[in-house]
Amino acid sequence: MAKKKETTIPKSFTTGELEVKWSHLHKPDVFFGTPGDHNISVVITDELKKEMDSWMKQSGANKINGQTKTEEGTDILKVKSKLYTSGESPKTSFPCFDAGARETEDTPFGGDVVKLMIAPRLNDRDNSMSLWLSGCQIVKSGGRTTGFVPVDGFTAESDSDVEQEDLPF
């Protein structure tokens, strides 16, 4: 169990802008069982790496959990949260905020840019550090598209291609 030891690591930290590689904030990830957790994987920036190294040094942690490296050599950090997956009123999606700091039903996906609130915690079992997700702000959309280009024809703005006054009823 992750416990907050008396160190100088912050109770909560807000990151700078981070590129999302993968996100499971739209619904709990139940791969390892229910109720699962919400999680997000982001590219580690130099600024975030510096902070994480500082927390390790200050706390004496052996390592920070959730770090991986892609085949291309990009450092990735996966942070998780169980805040909204269990308890009396679990939520399907993790609550996120838009660039204007207003709550939104959107969740980030690969290519989006986010700021995260994370809570570093030292684990007594192996002296490793876990970074828990406590908030997510979607700063920029990564430009997700449908893969289609516009063409002439039916559009969702109208009920159909038939004018309302042409209907017999």
The domain spans of the chain are 10-143
Q: Which residues pair with 24 in a beta bridge?
A: 39
Prior bond of 10 cis (ω within 30°):
no
Q: How far apart are CA 36 and CA 93, in angstroms?
A: 12
What is the residue-level pLDDT of the chain in tens, covering all 169 positions? Answer: 455 445 567 889 999 999 999 999 999 888 787 888 999 999 999 999 999 999 999 999 999 999 999 999 999 999 999 988 887 778 889 999 999 999 999 999 999 999 999 999 999 999 999 999 999 999 998 766 556 667 777 666 655 445 556 656 5
Place of tokens 């942690």: 61
Q: Which residues pair with 34 in a beta bridge?
A: none
CATH of 10-143, one of 3.20.20.210, 3.40.50.720, 1.10.1840.10, 2.40.50.140: 2.40.50.140
Position 62 scores a pLDDT of 95
Say what the alpha-carbon torsion angle 12, 18, 22, 23 is, to the nearest 10 degrees: 40
